[in-house]
Amino acid sequence: MKSMKSGAEHVPCVKVEKIRGEDIRSALKDRNLLRTDVRITSDDKFVYLPLIRALTEDEIRGIGAEELLRRDFAVLEERKSIEDTAGFKPSYEVIGDIAVLTEVLNEREEQLVAQALMDLHKNIKVVAKRISPVEGVFRTRKLELIAGENRTETIHREHGCTYKLDLEKVYFNPRLAGERNRVAAQLERTKEEEIIDMFAGVGAFSIQLAKRAPQSHVTAIDINPDAIRYLEENIRLNGVRNIDAVEGDIKEIYVKFRNTADRIIMNLPKSAYLFLHEALSMLKPQGGIIHFYDLESAYPEEGEEKHKTVEKAITKAKEKFMAQVQELGRGESVEIQEARKVKPYAPYAYIIGIDAAIT
């Protein structure tokens, strides 16, 4: 973590439109070109991203930045970490301005971590802990507040999108950010697609896809009225016009969308299999792409390395998916384009993502 150190440095930087700032910041970071020891600055329209070195014209074009400049940036210095302050490394995730502890601690440890989090991260206004698993049809969990303001509603920002949500009333997982970005990156800016997000929640996939491909249209469906209420607000907050939010049980309302979709997102990992019939019926007769998420576990044989369990879980997910599609009479028309671990879920259990082309 960094805090301000007195002084500034004159540094090469790229000027980027604010709306594309987060994407270009991550692209620079991935290429080890971003300076992280000085503070990024912005004005009304642009963000200025400090660079390790001046970029070539081709590099600037390649990452989609506007122009190369030199500017003064305030120098940051290393500050104490949560580990230094609390005395151990706690596990937590941050959604908007709420930090949620993701491991069980005793009361004294909780207070220590909560205080350290709020002292060191001025943007954290609430600290909470999980007191139930993700459960029920709405896939929500209960939280208990430990410190800070008395609320579970927040505004989370991810890849240039803004999501307002209540952590107890809707599902939201910040660790799927990379996966959402990966799917969005598959959209072409010129091709008009009809996309159906079958289990849309507050619109985490839908809004990013709609922003990335404004010529396409997204139908975002969810059974949870609170998720739809936030989704509608998020559509307004993000200024996207090419999304329709639809409240309802996909088992019933899929009939309205038969033969309409080029691309379908099925992010309901524990039971997406139960909805494959509906997904296949919503694809256009000429076919399309399904992004399917599954929860699979696999255990190591004696002496087997742990990473083998990921491969086994991926194989299980692919086999289950193919068997289900075959049972629905579409086996010969499916090609699994990619299957990968999206994130760990529990020891030896993983969320597996499958991209399948149906023709």
Ligand X SMILES: C[S@@+](CC[C@H](N)C(=O)[O-])C[C@H]1O[C@@H](n2cnc3c(N)ncnc32)[C@H](O)[C@@H]1O
Instruction: Determine the Cα–Cα distance for residues 129 and 133; give it in Å rounded to an integer.
Output: 11
Question: Shortest approach of ligand X to residue 278 CB, angstroms?
Answer: 9
Per-residue DSSP letters for 68-109?
Answer: EEEEEEEEEEE---HHHHHSS---EEEETTEEEE-S---HHH
Contact map string, positions 136 to 155, toward ligand X, x by CB under 6 A: -xxx----------------
Compute the least distance from the CB of residue 137 to ligand X, in Å.
5
Beta carbon nearer to ligand X, 25 or 291: 291
Q: Which one, 199 or 321, has the nearer CB to ligand X?
A: 199
Distance, in Å, from the CA atom of 111 to the CA atom of 113, rounded to the nearest integer, reads 5
d(CA 282, CA 285): 9
Between 61 and 251, whose beta carbon lies closer to ligand X? 251
Q: Give the per-residue contact string, 250-289, with ligand X (x = CB under 6 A; - = no).
A: xx---------------xx---------------------
- Closest separation between CB of residue 245 and ligand X, Å? 12
Contact 196, 264 (CB under 8 A): yes
What are the DSSP E strand ranges found in 223-317?
Answer: 243-247, 263-266, 288-297
Smallest separation (angstroms) from ligand X to the CB of 356: 18
Give the C-alpha separation, 222 to 267, whole Å: 11
| Binding range to ligand X, per CB under 6 A, among 71-79, 90-98, 248-256, 324-332 | 248-256
Amino acid at position 126, single letter:
V
Instruction: Measure the CA–CA gap between 28 and 22, rounded to whole angstroms.
Output: 10
| Binders of ligand X in range 178-237 (CB under 6 A) | 199-201, 204-205, 221-224, 227
Beta carbon nearer to ligand X, 92 or 254: 254
Calculate the dihedral angle through the C-alpha atoms of 24, 30, 32, 33, rounding to the nearest 10 degrees.
Answer: -10
Q: Which is nearer to ligand X, 5 or 229 (CB)?
A: 229
- Residue 172, interface with ligand X (CB under 6 A)? yes
Instruction: Write the binding mask 7 to 26 for ligand X: x where contact by CB under 6 A, - elsewhere.
Output: --------------------
Binding mask 109-138 for ligand X (x = CB under 6 A): ----------------------------xx
Largest CA distance in the chain: 68
Output DSSP code: residue 218.
Answer: E
In the complex, which residues of this chain contact ligand X (CB under 6 A)?
A: 137-139, 171-172, 176, 199-201, 204-205, 221-224, 227, 249-251, 267-268
